[in-house]
Structure 1
Amino acid sequence: MISKNTIDQVFETVRVEEVIGDFVQLKKAGSNFKGLSPFSDERTPSFMVSPVKQIWKDFSSGKGGNAVAFLMEHEHFTYPEAIKYLAKKYNIEIEETEQSDEQKQEADARESLYLVSEYANKYFQKILHNTNQGKSIGLSYFKERGFTDDIIKKFGLGYSLDDWQAFTDEALKDGYNIEFLEKTGLTIVKEDKRFDRFKGRVMFPIQSMSGRVLGFGGRILTNTKKAAKYLNSPESDIYHKSKVLYGIFHAKQSIAKEDNCFLVEGYTDVIQFYQTGIKNVVASSGTALTPEQIRLINRLTKNITVLFDGDSAGIRASLRGIDLILEQGMNVKVCMFPEGEDPDSFAKQNTFEELTLFLDENAQDFIQFKASLLVKDSKNDPIKKAETVRDIVNSISKIPDRIKKEIYIQECSKIMDISEEVLFSTLAQINKKEYQDANKAYKKEQQSFQVFKNEHAVKKVNIQYELERKIIEILLLYGNKTEDFEDLILKETETNELVLEPVIQQAQVFEKIYLDLQDDEMEFSNPKFKELYYTIIDTLNQNPDFALESFVNSVDQNMANEITSILMDEEKYALHNWESKNIYPKDKSKSIAQLVSETILNLRCFLIEQKVIDFQKETMESKDNKNVLQEVKDYSNLKMLLSRKLNRVL
C-alpha cells in the first residue's frame, strides 16, 4: 500500500495541465486549456482543463475529474498505479508496504494482464543482457543494427531464448497464472502442452501512450521459411493493434513540441530515427493505418509526414492511409527515400543535420506526391490519366475544409494540366454520391431515432435540481469568501401588509447559505447534493483555508466526479471563444453576493409554489377549506414579494 504521505505529496505537486498535456495537445482558452477529446472521435474541441481548479472535463463523453481520474480513465490505471505514475513523473519517492499474497490475488483480470506483460518485458531484457545466448544472438543483432546500449535500454529491447518453454516455466515458477500467460499470447496452450510464442526472437515491447506494456513484436533471426519474420502479440483485453502506435510513448512530447509526426512502418525505423535525433516518430507496426491510430496522433498535432521506403512494393496500398488522414482533417506530407533505402538504413548512414535537411527538401504535399506517382503509370494512356485524375480528386473530396479543397483543386489543375472547371465538376459528382449515401444513412438513422423518440418522452427541466446544483457550485467556488449581503426582513405594516425590508450584513458565503437554508427549513431533495452539501459545509467550518483542489482530491471518486461535472459545466462556453467575437460574458466572481441571494430567493420561490400546489390539492380533498385558503393567500403574497425582489413580473 502507498503511504498517505506519498499520496498527499503527489497531489500537492501534480499539475493537471502538465499530466494531460502528455496525452492531449492543449491550447490556451482564457484561463483554461482546451483540446480534442481523447475519449471520442471529434474535430471540434470539447475537452477542457482548468489549471486554477486542477480538474478537467470532457463534454463529449461526460467524463471528468483530477489528474488521477484522467489516468484511470485514459490509461485504465488502478488508483495506486496512477499515483505511482505521477510520483515517477515528478520524482517523488514512493513509500509503500509490501503487498501480501492475498492482495496480489485480488488484482482483477485486466490488471493481471498488465502485470504479466510487465514481467515478460523485464524477463526478456534480463535474458538479452545476462545470458550467453542473449548476448551472442540478440545483443549482437541490435549492435549490428547500430543501436547503442542507451537506446536498447530506453526502448526495453530484449530476447526470448530459443527454447520451447523457457519463459513459461520461469513465469509459472515466479507465481504467474497460466490463464493470464495464455490471454496475453505469451504462452500458447494446446491440450496439456505449453509453448513460448516468441521462441528464439528479439523482442520489441509495444507500449501505450503512458508507457504501459501492452504486447510485443518479435523478430526471428534464422532463415526459417516456416516461421514468420515478424510476429506480434495476439489481440487481448489490453492490446488492440489497430489502436496502438509503436513508439508513441517516447515520441508524444516531441510530436507536440515540433507540431509534426513522422509515420514509418517498422520498429527499427522508429528506433534508428530516435537515435539519430528525430524523436517525433511512430510506426503503424506493419499493419494498415487505422482511423484510431490517426486520432491518437491528432490529439498531439494536426501534421503528419508519411515516410515510404525507396522500393516499397506496398506503396499503393499505403495511399489509402493518406485518404484516412485527410478525412480526419489533418495535413499530410509524403517523403520517399532513395531507391534501396528505408528510414532505418538512411538514418543510420546520415547525421541528424543531413537527415533533417533531406526530410525538409523532399517532403511533398500529398497531392504532388500522389500525382507524380500515378502519372508515371498512366504515361500517355488517356484512360489511365482520367482514372488518375479521378483518384486524386477522390482524395481531395475527403478533406472537410472547403478552402483547402479549393486550393488543392487549383494545385491539381496545374499538375495534371486540366481545367479547374472539370475538376470541380468531378468533385461535385463525388460529393453528390457521398451526399446521397449519407442521406440514405441519415434517413435510416432518423427512422430508428423516431422509434426511440416515441418511446422516450422528453424530460422537463427539474428546477429544484438545477438550483440545488447551483448552491453546491457557489459553495465550492466561493464558500470561504466574505461578502456584504442584503438580507430581506419580513415585516408587517400598520395596515397589516407584509413587506420586505433590506438589511446589509457581512458574512462568509457558506455561513450565509447554511443559515438561510436552516431558517427556512429547506432540505436538499437530491441525495448526492445533500451528501455533498454537508461535506462541504463541514470542511469549510473546520478549515478556513479551504482549497478546492485539495478538497477534490480528499473525497471519494464518485463525489469527485460529481464536483467536476458541477464546476466545469459552465466552462464549456469558453470553448466557443466568445471574446474573439467581441462578446464578453459577465464574470460571476464580481457579483457573488447577488448570485447567492438570487439563487436562494429562486429556491424559496420554487418551494413556495410547490407548497401552494399542495394546498390546492388539499382544498379539493377537504370540506373545510377556510384555513387552507388563507395559507394559500399568505404564501401567494410572500411569493409576490420575493418575485418583486427578483425583478419578475407575475
Structure 2
Amino acid sequence: MISKETIEKVFDLARVEEVIGDFVQLKRAGSNLKGLSPFVNEKSPSFMVSPVKQIWKDFSSGKGGNAVTFLMEHEHYTYPEAIRYLATKYNIEIEETVETDEDKEKANEKESMYLVSEFARDYFHKTLLKTDEGQAIGLSYFKERGFTTATIEKFQLGYSPDSWDALTKEALGKGYQLEFLEKTGLTIVKAEEEKSFDRFKGRVMFPIQSMSGRVLGFGGRILTNDKKAAKYLNSPESEIYHKSKVLYGIYHAKQAIAKLDNCYLVEGYTDVIQFNQSGIENVVASSGTALTADQIRLVSRLTSNMTVLFDGDAAGLRASLRGIDLILEAGMNVKVCTFPDGEDPDSFAKSHSFEELKAYLQDNAKDFIQFKASLLIKEANNDPIKKAEMIRDMVNSISKIADRIKREIYIQECSRIMDISEEVLYNTLAQIGKKELAEASKKFTEEKKAFEVLKNNDELVPSKIDIQYELEQKIIEILLLYGNQVVDFEESFMLENDKGELEEIKEINTRKVSEKIYLALQVDEVELTNPIFKNIYDDLIQYHNQNELFEIDKYLSQVQAEIAEKITDILMLEERDALHKWETKQIVVKPKEENIAQYVNETLLTLRWFLVHKIIEDTKKSVSSNSAEDNSELLTNIKDYLGLTKLIAKNLGRVLARF
C-alpha cells in the first residue's frame, strides 16, 4: 500500500488547476478558472475550478472534488492509481507501507508481470517498425487493413518474429525472469525437455490494456495459412489477465464513452481500431468471447447506454442475443445495429467516411425489442407454436429489466409489435418467476390509470424549501470557509437589572468562528438533524480544535468519498454566481467575507428563530388537542416564545415572516 507520507506529499504538491489543465481548457474568471464540462456536451462553461480552495465543480453533471477525484471521474482511475499518476507528474517517490512477506511477494509478483508485459509490448512494436521481417510481414498486413502510422502508434500494434525464442532470449538478456515470462504466458516452458519458446511466434500483436492503461495480455493473429494453428491466440489466464473481465479498447474509449454517454460493442480488435481511425472512439470489443457480467460492469461505470454491433451475416446471431439479456439485467439500455450482408464493423468503417458511418449508426440502431422481434419473426414463419415461443423469449428479455417504468413501456411495445394483449404479456412475466412481478397482472389496471393521471397532469407542484436543511448547510459552509478565522462578534444576553426586569446586554467578544458556532449551538442545545451535516459538523469542530491551520485540500484528502463530494458541493455553491456574469447585468453579488461576523450571527439567529417557531407551532397543537384541560402554562410558554422571536427579529434588524 502507498504510505500516508506519500499521499500527504501528493496533496501538498498537486495543484488542481494544473492537473485539470492537462485535460480541460481553462480560462480565468475572477479568482477562479472556468471551462466547458469534460463530462457532458455543452456550449456555455459550467465547469469551475477554485485554485484557492483547491477544488472543482461541474455544475452540469453535479460532479466535484479535488485533483484526485477529478482523475477518478475523468480518467476512471482507482484511488491508488490516481495517487500514483500524481506522484509521477510531480516527481514524488512512492513509499510503500510495511506489508507482510506474503503481501509483498504477491504485489511484487503482479508488478513483475506488468513490467514484463510492458517490455513485450515495446519489443513487439519495435520489431514491427524497425526490422526487415516486421516491416515486410507485420507492417504490410496492418497497412493492407488500412491502418495509418498514427493508429499503429496509438494502439501500440506489434509483430512477434517467426522464431522459436526471439522474445524470450531478448527478455532474459535484459534481466527479466523466465518465471514471469511463463506466468504471463509470453513464454511456454517445457521443463522436462528444458526448453522454452515464444507463444506468439510469427503473429501480429494487439496489446490488451486495462482501463488505466497497463498491459494485461496480448492477442496475436497468425498470417500464414497453417490450418493447425488458431487464427487468433490470446494470452492465457494469469494473475493480471482475466479475459472475462477485460474489454479490448477500453483504455482508449473510456473518455469518449463517458462524454457521449454511449458505448459501441463489437467483436474483434480490428473493428475497434478501424472505428477509432474513422473518428468513432467510444467502442470496445469482447475479443471473440461471450459477453460477461464483469465486462458489462466495466462499461456501466462510464455509461448506462450500450449499442451492440453485429456483422451482416454473423453466424450464431441468435446465441449472441444472450449477451443482450445480460446487459438488460445490469440495468443498462440496449440498442442493436447490424451491417449490410458481407460487411462487418471493420470493413464498413474502412469504406465509409466519418459522417457516413455516424449517420448509419444513428439511423440503423434499433431498440433491442424491435431487433429481437424482427429476428425471431423470420424464424417463426407464421408457425403459431414458434410464435408463442418467440413471444416468451421476448418477455424473458423484458423480465431482466429492473426498472418498472421501462418494463411497462417494453410490454406495450411488445404488445404492439406482436399483436397480443398486455394482460397476457404480464401473465407471462409472472410465470417466468420474477418476484416483483408476481402480481403484475392484478395491478396492471390500477397502475395504468395512475400512470395516465400523472401523464395528463400538467401542473407541477413546487417543492417546499427545507429551511432547516438550508441553514444547516450554511453552518457547514461557514465552518469550511471561515472556521479558523478570529473575528469580533457582538453578542447579547439577558440580565436582570435592579428593578428585577430582564435587560438585554451587548458586548464584543473575539473568538474563532468555529468556537462561536460551537458555543451558540451548545447554549441552545441544538444538534444538526441532517445525518451527513451532523457527521461533517462533528468532524470539523474536532479538526478545528486540534489544528491551528485549516487547509481544505488536506482536509478533503482524509474524509470519506461521500463526505468529500458533499463538502465540494457546499464549497462551490457560491462559485456558481461567477458563471451567471451578474456584474454585466449591473447586479452586485456581495462577498460574504466582507463581514463574516454579521453572516455568522445572521445564520445562527435565523436558525434559532426557525427552531423557536417550530416549538410555538408544536405547543399550539398541544393546546388544540388538550382543549378540555387547563392550558394556561402552555399559553404562557407560547407568549414567552413569541417575545423571544421579537428579540431575535430586533437583533437581526428586520421583520421575520413565519416559516
TM (normalized to structure 2)?
Answer: 0.63
Aligned match of 1:194: 196
Q: Partners of 1:421 and 1:50 in 2: how far apart?
A: 59
The one-letter code of the counterpart of 1:139 is L
Deviation of the 1:316 alpha carbon: 1.4
Q: Partners of 2:299 and 2:262 in 1: how far apart?
A: 9
Aligned match of 2:482: 478
Matched, 1:341 2:333: no
Instruction: Name the count of aligned residue pairs.
Output: 513
Matched, 1:54 2:59: no
Aligned match of 1:163: 163
Q: 1:539 aligns with which of 525, 549, 574?
A: 549
Matched, 1:83 2:86: yes
1:339 is paired with a residue whose SS is: coil
CA distance change for structure 1 residues 563 and 174 in 2, over 3 Å: closer, same or farther?
farther
For residues 525-577 of structure 1, the C-alpha deviation after alignment (integer angstroms, 9 at most, x for no partner) is xx9999955663x325xxxxx5x22x348xxx657979848947999xxxxxx
Aligned match of 1:311: 313
CA contact (8 A) 1:532 1:559 kept: no
CA distance change for structure 1 residues 233 and 9 in 2, over 3 Å: closer, same or farther?
same
The one-letter code of the counterpart of 1:8 is L
Aligned match of 2:374: 372
Q: Partners of 1:328 and 1:50 in 2: how far apart?
A: 39
Aligned match of 2:298: 296
Q: Partners of 1:334 and 1:388 in 2: how far apart?
A: 18
Deviation of the 1:354 alpha carbon: 2.4
The one-letter code of the counterpart of 2:395 is V
CA contact (8 A) 1:242 1:293 kept: yes
Deviation of the 1:405 alpha carbon: 2.3
Q: Partners of 1:371 and 1:5 in 2: how far apart?
A: 55
CA distance change for structure 1 residues 54 and 76 in 2, over 3 Å: closer, same or farther?
closer
Deviation of the 1:306 alpha carbon: 1.0
Aligned match of 2:431: 429
For residues 339-366 of structure 1, the C-alpha deviation after alignment (integer angstroms, 9 at most, x for no partner) is 2211111111222232223223322221
2:428 is paired with a residue whose SS is: helix
The one-letter code of the counterpart of 1:224 is D
Q: Partners of 1:109 and 1:564 in 2: how far apart?
A: 34
The one-letter code of the counterpart of 1:389 is I
Aligned match of 1:135: 135
CA distance change for structure 1 residues 98 and 160 in 2, over 3 Å: closer, same or farther?
farther
Q: Partners of 1:503 and 1:187 in 2: how far apart?
A: 82
Deviation of the 1:171 alpha carbon: 1.9
Aligned match of 2:450: none
Matched, 1:259 2:261: yes
The one-letter code of the counterpart of 1:14 is V
CA distance change for structure 1 residues 595 and 186 in 2, over 3 Å: closer, same or farther?
farther
Deviation of the 1:502 alpha carbon: 6.0
Q: 1:272 aligns with which of 270, 274, 282?
A: 274
The one-letter code of the counterpart of 1:167 is L
Identity of paired residues, percent? 60
What is the correspondence of 1:11-30 to structure 2 with a 5 Å cutoff?
11-15=16-20
Q: 2:235 aligns with which of 217, 233, 236?
A: 233
Aligned match of 2:286: 284
Deviation of the 1:515 alpha carbon: 11
For residues 108-153 of structure 1, the C-alpha deviation after alignment (integer angstroms, 9 at most, x for no partner) is 3333333222222211111111111111111111111111111111
Aligned match of 2:13: 8
Aligned residues: CA RMSD: 5.3
Q: Partners of 2:317 and 2:370 in 1: how far apart?
A: 15
Q: Answer with 229-238 or 370-379: which moved more.
A: 229-238
Q: Partners of 1:562 and 1:343 in 2: how far apart?
A: 41
Aligned match of 2:353: 351
For residues 349-403 of structure 1, the C-alpha deviation after alignment (integer angstroms, 9 at most, x for no partner) is 2222322232233222211111111111111221111100110111122222333
Q: Partners of 2:147 and 2:545 in 1: how far apart?
A: 60
Gapped regions of structure 1 (runs ≥ 5):
34-48, 57-63, 88-93, 100-104, 438-469, 517-526, 541-545, 572-587, 600-643
Aligned match of 1:418: 420
CA distance change for structure 1 residues 596 and 132 in 2, over 3 Å: closer, same or farther?
farther
Gapped regions of structure 2 (runs ≥ 5):
1-5, 25-34, 58-63, 96-103, 440-473, 521-537, 572-591, 608-643, 649-659
The one-letter code of the counterpart of 2:18 is T
Deviation of the 1:9 alpha carbon: 5.5
Aligned match of 1:641: none
CA distance change for structure 1 residues 121 and 594 in 2, over 3 Å: closer, same or farther?
farther
TM (normalized to structure 1)?
Answer: 0.64
The one-letter code of the counterpart of 1:362 is N
Q: Partners of 2:294 and 2:139 in 1: how far apart?
A: 34
Q: Partners of 1:320 and 1:595 in 2: how far apart?
A: 58
CA contact (8 A) 2:487 2:513 kept: yes
Q: Partners of 1:66 and 1:338 in 2: how far apart?
A: 48
Deviation of the 1:214 alpha carbon: 2.2
What is the correspondence of 1:90-105 to structure 2 with a 5 Å cutoff?
none
CA contact (8 A) 1:3 1:95 kept: no
What is the correspondence of 1:36-51 to structure 2 with a 5 Å cutoff?
none
CA contact (8 A) 1:552 1:560 kept: no
- Structure showing greater relative contact order (alpha-carbon pairs closer than 8 Å, 6 or more residues apart): 1
Matched, 1:409 2:419: no
Matched, 1:509 2:513: yes
2:206 is paired with a residue whose SS is: strand
For residues 87-119 of structure 1, the C-alpha deviation after alignment (integer angstroms, 9 at most, x for no partner) is 4xxxxxx657999xxxxx998333333322222
CA distance change for structure 1 residues 65 and 426 in 2, over 3 Å: closer, same or farther?
same
Aligned match of 2:148: 148
